[in-house]
Amino acid sequence: MVTVSITPSKHPSSAVLLDYASATLGFAHRLVVETHVLHCQGCAETISFLKGVGNEFTANLPPVTPPADLFERSIASFNAAEAVRPPFQMGEAPAEMPRIVDRMVLPSTLKDLQPSRLRWLTPGIRHSTLWRDDFSTLHFIRVNAGVKLPAHSHRGLELTCVLRGAFRDNDGLYSVGDVAEEDEDYGEAALRREHDHLVRAEPQESCMCILATTGRLHFSNWMIRLVQFTLPF
C-alpha cells in the first residue's frame, strides 16, 4: 500500500518485480522493493497485476492430492513453535516500537528488524546491518553530504532505496523512494559477474539508504579492507 505522497522516478526492473510477485526474490531484496512501493503507486499496481496473473495460472493447474498426514504434521509444527514462545505475562502490552537508526525512524516495512550498532566505516560514512542470512544482507548506510561511498564490487544483485536525502551514481540522481539496481545480467549470470558501483551523496544533506546485496562486498579502500573482518559484510 502506498503511504507517502512521493513519486519516485527510478524503479526496480520488470524482472525484479516479477520475482517479487512470484515470491522468488530474496528476503533482503524484497524489503527494498516493499520500501519503494510505499512511495510508488505504479509499482504497487504492477505487482498486484503480476500476482493476479500468477493466481489465475495456478488456478487452472490440475488438482494435487496432499499427503494423508499433512494436517497432523502442520499441527505438530504449530505446537512445537508454541512450545518455545515466551509465556505472556499479565500487564504486558505488545507495543509497536519504531525501529530507529542514526536518529531516523525506519519505514514500516523494516519495523520487525533488529539493527546492529551503527558503526564508523570511513570519514563521513556510517553503517548498520539490518538483516543478514547466508544468501543476502540488508544494510543501512548514511553518507554525509558531498561524501563519496568508497568504490566497491560484489557478485549478484544490488538494490538500493533512498530513505532520506539524495545521491548520484553512474546512472544519475536518486532521491527519496528511488531504487538503484545494479545488475545488468540479473539471473544465474549475476552470481558470476562482479561490477563497480560509484556513489556520491548530494551536497545539500546527508543521504540515508537501505542496500540489499548478494554476497560479500569487496572494497578497494585499504582502510575499509583493514577493518572489514570486524564487520558483518
Is residue 144 within 8 Å of residue 138, measured between CB atoms? no
| pLDDT for residue 154 | 59
**Is residue 204 within 8 Å of 145, Cβ to Cβ?**
yes
Cβ atoms 211, 178 nearer than 8 A: no
- pLDDT by position in tens, the chain (length 233): 444 457 899 999 999 999 999 989 999 999 999 999 999 999 999 999 998 886 665 656 566 676 777 667 767 665 665 554 444 343 443 445 567 887 788 898 998 888 888 888 788 989 898 988 888 889 999 999 999 877 666 567 889 999 999 999 878 999 999 999 987 444 444 344 444 557 799 999 999 999 998 866 655 554 454 444 445 55
Residue 205 is predicted with a pLDDT of 93
Determine how β-strand 125-132 pairs with β-strand 158-164: unpaired
Please give the sequence-ordered ranges of beta strands (E in DSSP) within 119-230, or none if there are none.
119-122, 125-132, 136-143, 148-155, 158-164, 167-169, 172-174, 179-182, 194-201, 207-214, 218-219
* Whole-number pLDDT of residue 70: 64
Between CA 10 and CA 92 the distance in angstroms is 43
94 alpha carbon, distance to own chain's centre:
26
The residues near 190 (Cβ < 8 Å, ≥ 6 apart) are 155, 156, 157, 183, 214
- Matching residue, cell 500468477: 54
The amino acid at residue 65 is T
- Cα 129 from Cα 117, distance rounded (Å): 8
- The dihedral sign for the CA sequence 206, 207, 209, 211: negative
C-alpha 18/C-alpha 78 separation (Å) is: 31
pLDDT at residue number 231: 53
Q: Where are the domains of the chain?
A: 1-60+100-233
Q: How far apart are CA 63 and CA 111, in angstroms?
A: 38
Three cell numbers, residue 67: 499427503
pLDDT at residue 148 in the model: 87
pLDDT at residue 3 in the model: 47
Residue 196 pairs in a beta bridge with: 153
Placement of cell 514462545 in the chain: 85
* 1-60+100-233: CATH architecture: Sandwich (2.60)
- Specify the 3-state DSSP secondary structure of 101: strand
CA–CA distance, 16 with 25 (Å, rounded to integer): 7
